[in-house]
Structure 1
Amino acid sequence: MRVLFAAPARQWDEWAPALRAACPEMTLCRDGDPASFDALIYAPGYPEDGSVLDFTPFTRARVVQSLWAGVERIVTNATLTQPLCRMVDPGLARGMAEYCTGWAMRAHLGMHHYRQDGEWRNGIVPPLAGARDITILGMGELGRAVAKSLLGLGFPVTGWSQSGQPVPGVRVLGGDELPQALASAQILICLLPDTAGTRDLLDAARLAMLPKGATIINAGRGTLIDEAALLAALDSGHLGHAVLDVFRTEPLPATHPFWANPHVTVTPHVAADTRPETAAPIAAENLRRAMTGAPLLHLVDRNRGY
């Protein structure tokens, strides 16, 4: 099968060996006649001239396999009529679990209180994990991985998703139960995708539903939170801290107020990355399924946007 690597050139040296090892029957190409390709492996940033990729000439392509879990940059492309699959990578899920667990533990233990300035602060004793309620918005693969990690440490975990689909060990709320999910969230972890229904989901009214002093960890998408409302809630003291890994504009401009706010920690979109060694076998399996007509893994629902 002939497959186009429709991703930025800088990713070729990292991805090509892993993809070829996982799928030796594939001929992986960086360019060529669009009508000659059986599939595309796609990552945002392609084409690199800033234009929008026209999928119309790819008349033979049976699948477009994204290397990213989020597909918001491609799912609205009107020329994309081929099946689109998002990446569900066990390495990405593990990385997200480690990131969210690490920052949740930092917030839980109040580690930011212990500045190395010579002052002996021994009057701050955190509760045990069982007394610290954590809510996760988004209970897909990533949310479930984060929940499993936190449950293992003894935290009570509430999950919220639009569907409210059950997850073992987690109190899962759905749909219009979002206010209840927020009301108990001493630590709120946001892992939702960017869709029409999630943009500005955490506006001033919903941020006000969080307990006083709550910490927000956003590793989903920057569009989930109204930035002005978040800064106001932090500056007023209603919220204690925000750890932000995703932003509406990336890289985050140096003049953005998040950088200077003492109640905000900025991380540069490093919460979880797709790792070739764990993701290439997933892509290979979908390529084989596409060639044989078998059901595809992680097929994107265009109406939902993920």
Structure 2
Amino acid sequence: MSILLAVQDWDSAGWVARFKRNAPDREIRLWPDATDYRGVRYAVCWKPPQGLLAKLPDLEVMFSLGAGVDAMMHDPELPDVPLVRIVDPSLTGRMTEWVVLQVLMHHRRQRVHDAHQRDKLWGRVPQPAADAVGVGIMGLGVLGRDAAEKLIGLGFDVAGWSRTPKDIAGVTCFHGEDGLRPFLARTDILVVLLPLTPDTQAMIDFDLLGGLRTDNHMGGAVLINAGRGGLQVEADILRALAEGNLSGATLDVFVEEPLPPESPFWTHPKVTVTPHVAAESDPDYLCTYILRQIENFEAGRPLENVVDRSLGY
């Protein structure tokens, strides 16, 4: 009943210690130190190298340490066993905090006030009520739904778009290709929380951004992306900012991470950059969550949050 940890870009030693502390009766192996993969029934992964999981002859379940599974889904040799994603209540709360913060920052024109402060200017800018502002959320899963509900509580006019129909109290819901343009046309602040799939790759392009409502108190629409960097065409975001379709953007995710020093986003006066920190999970919760799933699986109970490979999430 061995567990293999295949973790890149995170503290692998910390994960080993955490799993050994919480599951002292299980053998914990660490990639790339482990060379014998026989008997490994469970793989706990974050950005595992392609082809690694196909080398585990006894593998029964794969777990992603993040809410997104796109890095694993891109592996052409991914074994045909259940892939489980993380649904973490603390992650949901942290994402909602970040989304609300960024929406309010743009709505209340904080970047403008910051510039006025630097220039010692007692300046005023138009400030309508929240119910005059259309916030549109792309992606109405657990994260999008919670953010929508909190924004409704602040008085914003909230709409949502998803691939399939959704019904959320207080949210004007659109879905599918036919619903995308009407959704964009009533949106002043666009919040992107979509998973990265073949259908959503590079979806946030110049054409999509051009469909947003620009006649508003901010002088243009706003883009907020905390989904995945692969969702956005970064040259198109810069073009939309230059041509006035966008009055501002907050980006937590990028095509290349860490964001290279030469990226124009770092110094763009209309862009706020955060380093993929919108929602970081509690490592201790993740460990407990995975071990509970393993116990349920071994007791014959169903796994939770299994990825539908036809959808990519």
Q: What TM-score do the two structures reach when normalised by structure 2? A: 0.89
CA distance in 1, matches of 2:26, 2:153: 41
CA shift digits 1:244-297 (9 cap, x unpaired): 111111111111222232221221111111221332232122212322332211
Indicate yes or no: 2:290 matched with 1:283: yes
CA distance in 2, matches of 1:265, 1:83: 38
Q: Secondary structure at the match of 1:93?
A: helix
CA distance in 2, matches of 1:93, 1:153: 18
Post-superposition offset of 1:209: 0.8
2:238 aligns with one of 231, 253, 260: 231
Post-superposition offset of 1:21: 5.3
CA shift digits 1:58-82 (9 cap, x unpaired): 2222100110111111113233222
Question: Which amino acid is the alignment partner of residue 5 of structure 1?
Answer: L
Structure with the greater relative contact order (CA < 8 A, sep ≥ 6): 1 or 2? Answer: 1
Q: Secondary structure at the match of 1:107?
A: helix
- Could you tell me whether the CA contact under 8 Å between 1:189 and 1:218 is conserved in 2? yes
Indicate yes or no: 2:193 matched with 1:191: yes
After superposition, the Cα gap between the structure-2 partners of 1:37 and 1:278, relative to the gap in structure 1 and judged at 3 Å, is same
Indicate yes or no: 2:130 matched with 1:166: no
Q: Which moved more, 1:31-40 or 1:174-183?
A: 31-40
Post-superposition offset of 1:18: 4.2
**Hey, what does 1:70 align to over in structure 2?**
68
Indicate yes or no: 2:62 matched with 1:55: no
CA distance in 2, matches of 1:9, 1:24: 25
Q: Secondary structure at the match of 1:160?
A: strand
Indicate yes or no: 2:83 matched with 1:84: yes
After superposition, the Cα gap between the structure-2 partners of 1:296 and 1:112, relative to the gap in structure 1 and judged at 3 Å, is same
* Count of residue correspondences: 300
**Hey, what does 1:15 align to over in structure 2?**
15
Indicate yes or no: 2:127 matched with 1:126: yes
Across the aligned residues of Structure 1 and Structure 2, the Cα RMSD in angstroms comes to 1.9
CA shift digits 1:148-177 (9 cap, x unpaired): 221221212111100022223322110020
CA distance in 2, matches of 1:158, 1:24: 47
Aligned positions of 1:1-306 closer than 5 A: 1-8=1-8, 10-20=10-20, 22-23=22-23, 25-30=25-30, 31=34, 33-44=36-47, 46-47=48-49, 52-79=50-77, 80-114=79-113, 115=115, 116=117, 117-122=119-124, 124-176=125-177, 177-212=179-214, 213-306=220-313
Gaps of 5+ in 2: 215-219
Post-superposition offset of 1:53: 3.6
Q: Secondary structure at the match of 1:35?
A: coil
Identity of counterpart residues, as a percentage?
36
Q: What TM-score do the two structures reach when normalised by structure 1? A: 0.91
Post-superposition offset of 1:9: 8.2
CA distance in 2, matches of 1:141, 1:132: 23
Post-superposition offset of 1:55: 2.2
Question: Which amino acid is the alignment partner of residue 12 of structure 1?
Answer: S
CA distance in 2, matches of 1:60, 1:242: 46
